[in-house]
Structure 1
Amino acid sequence: MESLWFATHPPATPEPSAFEDGDRFDTVIAGAGLTGLATALLLARSGQRVAVVEARSVGAVTTGHTTAKVSLLQGLVLSDILGHQSEEVLRAYVEANREGQSWLLRLLEDHGIGYQRRPAYTYATTESGRRALEGELDAGLRGGLDVGWAKDTELPFPVTGALLLPDQAQVHPLEVLDVLAAELRRHGGRIFEGVRLTDARTNAADAPVRAVTTGGDLRTDRVILATGIPVLDRGGYFAKVVPLRSYATAYTVGSPPQGMYLGVDEPTRSLRSVPTVDGERLIVGGNGHVSGRSSSERAAVEDLEAWTKEHFPGAERTHAWSAQDYRASDRVPFVGRMPRTSGRVFVATGYNKWGMTNAVAAALTLSAQILEGSMPWASALRNRGSLPKLMGGVRPNASVAYVLAKDWSQATLHALPAEDPPEGAGLVGRGPRGKPVAVSTVDGVTCRVSGVCAHLGGVVRWNDAERTWDCPLHGSRFAPDGTLLEGPATGDLGRE
């Protein structure tokens, strides 16, 4: 599976650089997505010596697989926040996203990078969905948005109602990262691809932090974890966010809708157009679920295609991909200092599928904290109450415990069959030593790896769309040969 963004973007030329073990930087950032590169640029502009370490390549994870809507109308997010937080926090969240949106679009304008201004719609197709829209309208108005009921939509099916927020934007996310990377390098920043951060060791308060990576150690004043979910367990963020995997498909169609649309009824549907050299494409996304907990990811993609062809006759699918996002237990991103690190490790996570604005807001927040600036909205978000956060995490963690016990029981009950799985398939069973073993066949190669996630011991499950091993506990994902792709784990699945 390849995203439309990578298919329509010239391959980047990696920076021919490496670092020496023990090299010194003011700030080391893990993750070269939107959060990491925007934060790095802000710090480099202030004169800091900044290094970004990226385990794969720039944009390889969520940013390169988003639908890239830069919108303040975000489905039912605002009413959801209001159900967990105060109105002050709601207004601060809206203001943070507004500043993130403005900063990003100004960056593109300053560098001559095109984007499209589009109205954003949140629509319903049921009466219960319309009632949900009424709650979102109230929350949006209380949060300071100029949102209202749409008189009509371009959608080729009836709706029971739709909210409209004009003058939002859609972008090509890899073009955004191109600008950020180029500007960062112009200001002396460094990007090291193929280098994974595995630890950040804070010793004496006056000693440098030791950033441990697969390419050697770096010494730094601070480390920022911009890795989707923090790859260090201090602070227990893996228990405060839920990993969500969703799907996107691109099509050639006669005349795609020009607005950006998101449905509130299940299964969700997200639509936007994309200009390409071969004409406009339509992106249709949706069918999200907790990562690793789908009976068939391939069926989710096929369902999107069937729905699109039903409502847009003549549509032909050209691309399909998926992305992983993290929803915070109290619906507001966690951004700031990580506990038990002497204030020298920072995190940003929990964007709830709206990273194009939240990631930049996080970058503004982190850079202000480090450079001793202040923003009222950042203070309000940072100082929000802890009780909703605590209560909101109870149900997901109970679910994790249930899945852990059930999957271990099933994996050790049945021995692996003697036959290899067919092409494109994977299965988990009891290995010769009594522990779960994961076996898959991809492109004619059969691999046997540990069936136990390297993070907290969950039993991995086969993703039949992307042909990966996905952990149903906290969202770590691995290639068929066990190589770590993303998530809170910092190591591969062992070979069997």
Structure 2
Amino acid sequence: MNAEREFQGSYWLESAPPGAAAPPPAGDLAVDVAVVGGGIAGLSTAWELVRQGREVAVLEAGRLAAGVTGHTTAKLTALHTLVYDRLRRTRGPEGARLYARSQSAAIRHAADVVQELDIDCEWEEAAAFTYAENPRRVGELRAEAEAAREAGLPAEFVTETELPFPVAGAVRVTGQAQFHPRKYLLALADDLRRRGGSVYEDTRVVGLTEGEPCVLSTDAGVSVRAGEVVIATHYPVFDRALLFTRLSPRRELVVAGTIDEERAPRDMYITPEQATRSVRTAPLGDGERLLIVTGEHFTPGTADVEERFARLTAWADTRFPKVTFTHRWATQDNDSTDSVPLVGPLHPGSRHTYVATGFGGWGLSGGIMAGRLLCDLVSRREVEWSGLYDPRRLASVVREGGTFLKHQGQVARHFVGDRILPLTGPEPENIPPGYGAVVRRGGAQWAVHRDEKGRLQAVSARCTHLGCIVAFNHAEQAWECPCHGSRFAPDGRILQGPAVRPLKKRDL
């Protein structure tokens, strides 16, 4: 990437200030429902429950809508790249129909919420496209268009788009939407409070005791007693359901910049080619829009992120010349082994605990869908697609055994291999400013970072989740776990779960 360019972080965070903070609870709490996580899934669930008259508390480890949701591409669509042809093979035609119906219902519901609450969130209706430039992939696209149409979406195969470069073919679905996700969620949180709900930021949940009631504990020693608990932390922070065996973390990069309105695509585009390329624009005013390009997906802790940013920016420069790139950030999501999110009871023995995870890069429609589904499940109401998303499902895991085994093999390679290779590492004095490296000290592995002023700091290299060895992401100045996606600041502070404990300090 051009070193002369200066980039800001997430546009969604920059353009929607959070307002007044919601302090952590001053003491122990007792509520009907505790929702852990203040992103799209958590806030949607809490808002739906408050509307049903439940006493709800949202517990967020950082700031509301500032985690994964604050770094999304912000497409609200039921066309999820090439999912429908796969679903009709793995879950049958009815499974594909339920998926399309539930995701489409989420989009319509979001539109109703925007209108009901009069939310100024730059809502725009748009078509969604999955395209390919390589003619060899046209067969896949035709099959996907057919499967999506059979599932109930208004899908068709086309060969023309508004993109400024030719495509071999595309699947088009009309009636989708794009919006400002943080403005939407902050308005939802405000309405939640007006209805009597509670929101607590900087409140990291570190323990869960299931029972009647359930009891959550926080890193500040506060206890929260709740009749029902929803875990909506993106990656579940509790491992009793062993969901980490069915989830693989995926990080993607985003670059964004200003483009003249007359040259700006108005619809939403994605291709599975070149480690994903996603394109959309957002309104800026004064004859300009914000071009948002996403791609270069990779497992956290396994890539040269600066090189990946450079590759993505070069692609965008070539396809959309004369764009001034102003922002760059990264997003993260989790893929389930069978391409369907895990939303429902936390584990087979659950009576009062629920989870929402595994949205596979489509967390906006998925999170809104999860909010409605979890509200119904907590209220003991039947939902026609609850079985499709049930985390306890086994049949689809068996059918997707190859994906499951591949994921577990990758985790095992990191868990074992990163401990023994290399047997020797760099010396701390050889680490340049702004970089980090894992070094060996007395048989242990330390994560050592040198800041821009030349000062060294060291923490344990073992992720506090399940003990995998972290790696340093220079572009984002973070230690990352390649097994389950936990991320830490150079000083060991948690940036992203599932870890709930910081990396332990080491004295150089």
TM class by smaller structure = over 0.9
Q: C-alpha deviations, 1:237-290, integer Å up to 9, x for none?
A: 111111010011101123221111111322321000111246311001111112
Q: 1:257 aligns with which of 265, 269, 272?
A: 265
Residue 89 of structure 1: CA displacement? Answer: 1.2
Question: How far, CA to CA, are the matches of 1:280 and 1:20 in structure 2?
Answer: 46
Question: How far, CA to CA, are the matches of 2:338 and 2:33 in structure 1?
Answer: 29
- Are 2:49 and 1:47 aligned? no
Residue 491 of structure 1: CA displacement? Answer: 0.7
SS in 2 for 1:64: helix
Q: 1:489 aligns with which of 496, 499, 502?
A: 499
Residue 415 of structure 1: CA displacement? Answer: 4.2
SS in 2 for 1:456: coil
Residue 418 of structure 1: CA displacement? Answer: 4.0
Q: C-alpha deviations, 1:60-106, integer Å up to 9, x for none?
A: 21100001101111211222323432221111111110111111111
SS in 1 for 2:297: strand
Question: How far, CA to CA, are the matches of 1:343 and 1:456 in structure 2?
Answer: 26
Q: C-alpha deviations, 1:112-155, integer Å up to 9, x for none?
A: 22401111111101123212212211220121111002351111
Q: C-alpha deviations, 1:25-48, integer Å up to 9, x for none?
A: 111111000100010011111111
Q: Any conservation in 1 of the 2:439–2:446 contact (CA below 8 Å)?
A: yes
The correspondence of residues 331-410 of structure 1 with structure 2, limited to 5 A, is 331-339=339-347, 342-382=350-390, 386-390=394-398, 391=401, 392-410=403-421
- Are 2:152 and 1:144 aligned? yes
Residue 416 of structure 1: CA displacement? Answer: 4.3
Q: 1:168 aligns with which of 151, 160, 176?
A: 176
Q: Which residue of 2 aligns with 1:13?
A: 20
Q: Which residue identity lines up with residue 184 of structure 2 in the other structure?
A: V
Residue 377 of structure 1: CA displacement? Answer: 2.1
SS in 2 for 1:419: helix
CA pair 59-420 structure 1, distance change in 2 beyond 3 A? farther
Which moved further from structure 2: 397-406 or 169-178?
Answer: 397-406
Question: How far, CA to CA, are the matches of 2:74 and 2:274 in structure 1?
Answer: 21
Q: Which residue identity lines up with residue 131 of structure 1 in the other structure?
A: G
Q: Any conservation in 2 of the 1:423–1:442 contact (CA below 8 Å)?
A: yes
Among the aligned pairs, what percent are the same residue?
33
Q: Which residue identity lines up with residue 401 of structure 1 in the other structure?
A: A
Residue 443 of structure 1: CA displacement? Answer: 3.9
Question: How many residue pairs are counted as aligned between the two chains?
Answer: 489
TM-score for the superposition, normalised by structure 2: 0.93
CA pair 476-331 structure 1, distance change in 2 beyond 3 A? same
The correspondence of residues 233-252 of structure 1 with structure 2, limited to 5 A, is 233-252=239-258
Q: 2:235 aligns with which of 229, 235, 242?
A: 229
SS in 2 for 1:376: coil
Q: Which residue of 2 aligns with 1:284?
A: 293
Structure 2: tracts of 5 or more residues without a match: 1-7
CA pair 144-483 structure 1, distance change in 2 beyond 3 A? same
Residue 436 of structure 1: CA displacement? Answer: 0.8
Q: Which residue of 2 aligns with 1:473?
A: 483
Which moved further from structure 2: 210-219 or 225-234?
Answer: 210-219
Residue 325 of structure 1: CA displacement? Answer: 0.5
Question: How far, CA to CA, are the matches of 2:383 and 2:452 in structure 1?
Answer: 52
Question: How far, CA to CA, are the matches of 2:444 and 2:18 in structure 1?
Answer: 41
Residue 379 of structure 1: CA displacement? Answer: 3.6
SS in 2 for 1:257: coil
CA pair 17-481 structure 1, distance change in 2 beyond 3 A? closer
Question: How far, CA to CA, are the matches of 2:10 and 2:328 in structure 1?
Answer: 6
Question: How far, CA to CA, are the matches of 2:392 and 2:155 in structure 1?
Answer: 25
- Are 2:337 and 1:300 aligned? no
Structure 1: tracts of 5 or more residues without a match: none
Residue 196 of structure 1: CA displacement? Answer: 0.5
